[in-house]
Amino acid sequence: MISDLQSLISVNVRGMKKSAIRELLKLTNDPEIISFAGGLPAPETFPKQELIGIVKEVIEEQGNQALQYGSTEGDTRLRELIAENYNQEGFNITKDNILITTASQQGLDLLAKVFINRGDKVLVGLPSYLGGLGAFNAYGAEMIGIKFDEHGMRADKLEEKLQELKEKGEKPKFIYIIPDFQNPAGVTIPEQRRREIIDLARKYDVLLIEDSPYKQIRFEGEDQESFYSMDGDGQVINLGTFSKIFVPGFRIGWVIAHPDILDKFIMAKQSTDLCTSPFVQKIAAKYIEKGYFAKNLKATIQNYKEKKEVMMKAFETYLPEGVTWTRPEGGLFLFVTLPEYMDADKLFLKAIEKKVAFVVGSVFHCDGSGKNTMRINFSYVDKDKNLEGVKRLAEVIKAEMR
């Protein structure tokens, strides 16, 4: 072994941190633990039978192309189908606005790689998606948190920070937002606030990153127009994925952007992995063409709606006074806020002893706040375990209160 490995490690890698969620999940391997910790889709939603036939068709009909290297931009037919889907939402894009990535996490990494120099400012929510925070941190970004309320990132607090930076002669590289059923909070930004936020992005000439992996998993309430469709002039970059609405194991995501911006992402991806698997892209394209995607998504939405309703009722029945939670209209998560004197980091180990797990909310706060919060996933375990898990969690919280 080399004598001084640390001296060889790059500045970027020295700034990296292990995923707090991945590390916490190691503690949940016990099959007796009911885990609300991972952001995992329900395995019963995976279309295994349909995929058996499609895989066979792809190999028989397109085997040489499917098993060969592909273009960096991604499979042409898949990009066309994705564009058609988004155009129904008012995006006005073609395949040339889309880059297929190895899941949306690669999109976040490419975003940081393309735009961030060490010390650059990036505006994120308080709280915000841990995978985004990790990607930006890896390239040396200085993240500035913008406070939330029940409707997501506050436009007034965003403008305060943008103006403060402008007066200092500084400008953030971008604003990072998860507008629909936000991870971790589960909240959705209403249309009027979206317009206020995009107006601020234009006023201060800052890119707006719309990370939207959950938008199609709406099971109640009114759909909200996307930032990208509101924009129309290249101010917004949209990130999407099949991980939460099809199968996570395929690792298919995408970036939607103006072609001039997308060209930089393509170059960055070429030096990363050349291309995303052509095989799984062709399987996904054929799956959509056969009409399976829309049918299965409808069943998935119903599945998650029922699980969320079970959890909401259990929260109302078992959680003690002083504990509050968000009420998502879709997605996979909700956020629990404990009394301010409580520490979810300490509570986590006691919860593991009671065979229930969650993710501590502090890891989603770039400033280290949120010690009295936790993220709960309701999509993964079945309804009976959702109910039992809430009972166990309530016991832990009540005992800590005493």
pLDDT digits (tens, 9 = 90+) for 284-336: 999 999 999 999 999 999 999 999 999 999 999 999 999 999 999 999 999 99
Do 251 and 268 sit in the same domain of this protein? yes
pLDDT digits (tens, 9 = 90+) for 184-233: 999 999 999 999 999 999 999 999 999 999 999 999 999 999 999 999 88
Do 260 and 351 sit in the same domain of this protein? no
User: pTM (2 decimals)?
Assistant: 0.94
Q: How far apart are CA 280 and CA 278, in angstroms?
A: 6
Do 313 and 331 sit in the same domain of this protein? yes
pLDDT digits (tens, 9 = 90+) for 344-380: 999 999 999 999 999 999 999 999 999 999 999 999 9
164 forms beta bridges with none
Q: Find the CATH number of the domain harbouring 368.
A: 3.90.1150.10
Q: Name the residue range of residue 211's domain.
A: 69-291
Q: What integer pLDDT is reported at residue 15 of this predicted model?
A: 64
Asked if the peptide bond before residue 179 counts as cis, ω within 30 degrees of 0, the response is: no
Tokens, residue 250? 């395929």
Q: Find the CATH number of the domain harbouring 274.
A: 3.40.640.10
Q: What integer pLDDT is reported at residue 239 of this predicted model?
A: 98
Do 123 and 205 sit in the same domain of this protein? yes
Asked if the peptide bond before residue 127 counts as cis, ω within 30 degrees of 0, the response is: yes
Contacts of 346 (CB under 8 A, 6+ apart): 400
Q: What integer pLDDT is reported at residue 263 of this predicted model?
A: 97
pLDDT digits (tens, 9 = 90+) for 146-192: 999 999 999 999 999 999 999 999 999 999 999 999 999 999 999 99
pLDDT mean over 61-89: 97
